[in-house]
Amino acid sequence: MAAKRTPEIANISKDELLKFYRDMLLIRRFEEKAGQLYGMGLIGGFCHLYIGQEAVVVGLEAAAEEGDKRITSYRDHGHMLACGMDAGGVMAELTGRIGGYSKGKGGSMHMFSREKHFYGGHGIVGAQVPLGAGLAFADKYLGNDRVTFTYFGDGAANQGQVYETYNMAQLWNLPVVFVIENNQYAMGTSVARSTKSPSLWERGAAYGIKGEAVDGMDVLAVKAAGEKAVAACRAGDGPYILEMNTYRYRGHSMSDPAKYRTREEVQKMRDEKDPIERVRDLLLTGGHATDDDLKAIDKDIKAIVNESAEFAKESPEPDLSELWTDIYA
C-alpha cells in the first residue's frame, strides 16, 4: 500500500475536521454494535463490516453536493451513514424489522434511500458498476448537473462487466466517479494472489479514463481526490477512477475467521494507519480540540448508536402480509 501522510492540511477548517472525526466514528461504533448484535443472534445471514475503511466514504461525501448519487456493493452500512441516512433505519434493517429502510425485506446488503440518493446495496459482486453508470446516464440524459459515486472493491475489479462499463462510460462521457475500494482482500484472496497488475486504477487507461491512486486511510487526501474527480465529471470530462487504498480490519463477513492474513498485519495497520486516529491526532496536535471535546463527541456517538440498536430491537418484525407486497409497482 502506498499510503503516505498528507503533509499539510490546507483549506480544512476545524469544523470540517471535527465533522470527519464524528462521521468516521459513527460508522466505526455502528459497525462494532452491529457485530455485537450479530453475535447475539439479532442480525442474521451476511453482515459485512466497514471498520477500517471509514475515511473513504466520509472523505468522498465531503466532495459531494446535494443530489449527487451513490451506489455500492453489499459492504454498505458506512456509505449509508455517511450520506446521512438514519442509523436507526439502517440498524433495524439489519435486524429485519419493519422500521428498517426496506421494511426488513432487504437486509444488510439491500437498502436504498431516494431521499439521500443512495441506490443500494447490491449483492452480486460488480453488478453495481453498470448500474452506477446507468444512474449517471440518466443524469446526463435529463440534463442534471449531478455526479454518481460508484463504489466497488478490488475483488469486483476483476469482473468483466466493470470493463464493459468503463468502455461505455468513457464512450458516452458519463459523469461517474468509479471508486475502487481496494481493501487488499477479495474475501480471502489478496490482490497479489488475484492479479498481476496490482495497480487497479491504471486499467482505466485502456479505455482512456483518467484516474489515480489515493491513500484511502487519509480522509483529507480522499476528499481532495474526490473534489478533483467530481470537478472533472461536472465539467463533462467524466468518468474518473479513484483507487482508494484502504484496509478492512474485520473479516470479509461475520463468518470469516480471516486466516489468510496475520494478526500482526491487522494490528500494524490499526496502529499506523487508522483513519480515525489520524484525524484525532490532527485535532489534538493542531489545538483544534481538547481531549474533553473529543470525549464529548464519543459520548454523543455512543448514544446515537445505542439508540439505533434499541430501535432495531424494539421495532416489530414486518407484518406477515408484507410477504406479498412490493413485488409489482
90 binds other proteins (CB under 8 A): no
For residue 47, CA distances in Å to 37, 77, 262, 290, 302 come to: 11, 9, 22, 35, 21
Beta strands per DSSP E along the chain = 69-72, 118-121, 148-153, 176-182, 185-186, 189-190, 210-215, 240-245
Return the bridge partners of 210, or none.
Answer: 240
Residue 243 near residue 200 (C-beta atoms within 8 A): yes
CB closer to other proteins, 6 vs 161? 161
Q: Which residue type does 113 have?
A: S
142 binds other proteins (CB under 8 A): yes
CB closer to other proteins, 156 vs 222? 156
Output the smallest distance, CB 115 to other proteins, in A: 9
Q: Using CB under 8 A, which of 20, 38, 74, 137 touches other proteins?
A: 137
Separation between Cα atoms, residue 118 and residue 106, nearest integer Å: 14
Identify which range of 79-87, 128-136, 187-195, 245-253 contacts other proteins by CB under 8 A: 128-136
205 binds other proteins (CB under 8 A): no
86 binds other proteins (CB under 8 A): no
Apex 13 CA angle, 7 and 14, nearest 5 = 100
CB closer to other proteins, 38 vs 118? 118
13 binds other proteins (CB under 8 A): no
The three three-digit cell numbers of residue 139, written as one number: 443524469
Q: Using CB under 8 A, which of 124, 205, 296, 303 touches other proteins?
A: 124
Q: Cis omega before residue 239 (within 30°)?
A: yes
Residue-by-residue DSSP string for 159-176: -HHHHHHHHHHHHTT--E
203 binds other proteins (CB under 8 A): no
Q: Using CB under 8 A, which of 28, 116, 122, 278 touches other proteins?
A: 122
Q: Using CB under 8 A, which of 36, 39, 171, 303 touches other proteins?
A: 171
119 binds other proteins (CB under 8 A): yes
Sites of contact with other proteins (CB under 8 A) = 69, 71, 100-106, 110-114, 119-124, 127, 129-139, 141-142, 160-161, 164-165, 167-168, 171, 325-329
